[in-house]
Amino acid sequence: MKLKVEEIKHMILRSQDLVQIIDEKLEYSGPAFMIPWKFMGRTAKSFRAEVETRRKDWRKAGTWAPMNPEAAVHLELKDVVQRLYYVITLE
């Protein structure tokens, strides 16, 4: 069963959930309530959850930047930060 982005948004996601929309490349990254209207009628090829784990001091350590550095932290350990992103790949 194929779902449209709008159906996924209303049936599965909460407004504060972090979402990435991919259409050959990353098109949107941010909270679910701000998904641009141009994606709402598009059909999703896949939908998955990805956990991002990064060092808190990623800039100083010279490691990769988080997918969305401004997003709120969901879980903190001593030296790491984890965030859950829902990734929607479009057909």
pLDDT in tens, the chain (91 residues): 799 999 999 999 999 999 999 999 999 999 999 999 999 999 999 999 998 777 666 566 666 666 666 654 544 566 677 789 999 999 9
Report the alpha-carbon angle 7-13-19, nearest 5: 100
In this prediction, residue 75 carries a pLDDT of: 42
List the structure tokens of 4.
């449209």
In this prediction, residue 77 carries a pLDDT of: 61
Taking only Cα atoms into account, the Rg of the chain, rounded to an integer number of angstroms, comes to 14
Report the predicted TM-score, pTM, of the whole model to 2 decimal places.
0.71
Question: End-to-end distance of the chain based on CA atoms, in angstroms?
Answer: 13
In this prediction, residue 38 carries a pLDDT of: 96
Helix (H, G, I), strand (E, B) or coil at 70: coil
Q: How far apart are the C-alpha atoms of 44 and 88, rounded to whole Å? A: 6
